[in-house]
Structure 1
């Protein structure tokens, strides 16, 4: 049900629409839901899409909704096509269930938010002009499945931007908060795409491609639980990096880039003129023979966040896996 009569006013800030995609998440859901309820910033609405769970996820969500009197919890049934499409489904539902001018946050089923997560993101985004799309994201505390053994996620030494987004995602979806302009941009573009590799990479591409800002916070805002069921997982140790190299060598990276290009092309009218041209040049570079491919890659000035990752980018170009 739509609740558009509750638009934001100067006295009452716009709510943050939290989009939570769930599939067999009963083990981690209670801690995550409790951490949402404990936020210092109380102005949130929760949209939960269960993608066909076989466990107690739906019952846990129903019980939480019953406890949250006065705080809107909307329960939805996902498309049953995996996490990326479940998040796309939630993004498409955002306008129907949130008042105009709302923010948009993404939420994983097995993390634990620190109490200042929403408030910290909202404060950072408040410094950006209202008409400029802006994405807030942060580092995380990486933990084991019992939420112990904390270690900080990787630093991001280079500035975010479209030239980075084309070849790497640095915006961890579980930390993302979008200002109203970026939320409206993403919601509109979601109607134009059929598929994305992962929702957070697509959002990072779209916001930077449209000339928006990315605010990356070095202070962690959540506990990122690592377990066997992680869809992607942290990329901060040797075994995880070896996995990424194997994915590159077998062609996964090339497939991801092709899907990203297709998704961006569907919304090309939302990109700046310069970034539309860059997208076209990136697509053409991938099809070029080896000498031209390397020459064009150097001219595009694409970059990743670490030296080993940059070397891997050039290796992918040499092997035709870009």
Structure 2
């Protein structure tokens, strides 16, 4: 028997949008307007502002005043950077579907509708993300973000962030898992909320959906928190960071945050996590062998080769960079 069309059910589902803001006055108005223009009307917005002094809070307050009472809420962030601000938002979110939102993007009108329709087909936890259209500061399109060909999963999530936070939407079951796991991530100071979310959802067996259709304009400007990762230069820089030993400490923090919630992981993924942890405490062939036994991989052959070379050279035992390697 065929399953019913998910769209009528999906249209009634409320989505809580979690927007982390900081000195975003130049662009946040366009993002808020794109949220208001969503074809999926059943949403609420929580903005956590991290101490802006440029008018951001006023723009959000004005937007809230034009919306139905209670639809938009402005709260104070922890003032510890973007990742901690998103984790703070997640811990404050109510039960139900949640969507991460960057302050300087512009969503396509059907962004939420497509995500909710895809999630409504799933019976258990599910994590949706999508491609983006990369633009310049004036929203002139430059290119589409990368389309990943290799499977999504925990073996990839441990070593690569590919479920972009600015497109990520989690159904109620996945959001509940993230809330249960968020404490150690906050205390340990992980560097990337979207990478962590991919690791947790993959590790707990959630369905992972990566939409090949772009969902938003991903604005690149001088203050962008995250740069594009699709050019030869960008990919070469990330491989260089692997070989330079810049992110071993970062991997160790990610491992510790996952290990603290290992009871949430599938049994097989706990074993993979342990092999990964062993690799981070070893050097030379022993480290590479632990990685190989876990069958860890990145989305390109060159990236995977660089990962194993870094393990063989003992680079994964070093401290990491200040940006996630995608």
Task: Say which of 192, 197, 210 aligns to 2:204.
Answer: 210
Gaps of 5+ in 2: 1-8, 317-326
Pairing 1:127-138 to 2, within 5 Å after superposition: 127-129=121-123, 132-138=124-130
* Cα offsets for 1:209-236 (capped at 9, x unmatched): 0111100100000000011211221101
Task: Say which of 228, 240, 246 aligns to 2:234.
Answer: 240
Residue in structure 1 matched with residue 20 of structure 2 by the alignment: 21
Partner SS state of residue 191, structure 1: helix
Task: Say which of 245, 255, 270 aligns to 1:251.
Answer: 245
TM, length-normalised to structure 2: 0.90
CA deviation after TM superposition for structure 1 residue 152, in Å: 0.8
Quick one: distance in 2 between partners of 1:65 and 1:277?
Answer: 47
Partner SS state of residue 231, structure 1: coil
CA deviation after TM superposition for structure 1 residue 54, in Å: 1.5
Is 1:140 matched up with 2:132? yes
Residue in structure 2 matched with residue 269 of structure 1 by the alignment: 263
Partner SS state of residue 47, structure 2: strand
Say whether the 8 Å CA contact 1:44–1:71 is kept in structure 2.
no
Quick one: distance in 2 between partners of 1:245 and 1:157?
Answer: 18
Residue 281 to residue 144, structure 1, CA distance change in 2 (3 Å): same
Residue in structure 2 matched with residue 294 of structure 1 by the alignment: 288
TM, length-normalised to structure 1: 0.91
Residue in structure 1 matched with residue 159 of structure 2 by the alignment: 167
Say whether the 8 Å CA contact 1:104–1:183 is kept in structure 2.
yes
Quick one: distance in 2 between partners of 1:259 and 1:296?
Answer: 18
Pairing 1:32-181 to 2, within 5 Å after superposition: 32-70=31-69, 72-95=71-94, 100=95, 102-129=96-123, 132-181=124-173
| Paired positions, count | 307
Residue in structure 1 matched with residue 303 of structure 2 by the alignment: 309
Say whether the 8 Å CA contact 1:145–1:227 is kept in structure 2.
yes
Say whether the 8 Å CA contact 2:19–2:101 is kept in structure 1.
yes
Residue 237 to residue 189, structure 1, CA distance change in 2 (3 Å): same
* Cα offsets for 1:154-197 (capped at 9, x unmatched): 11101100000011011000000001100111112113431222
CA deviation after TM superposition for structure 1 residue 310, in Å: 1.3
CA deviation after TM superposition for structure 1 residue 70, in Å: 4.7
CA deviation after TM superposition for structure 1 residue 140, in Å: 0.5
Partner SS state of residue 288, structure 1: coil
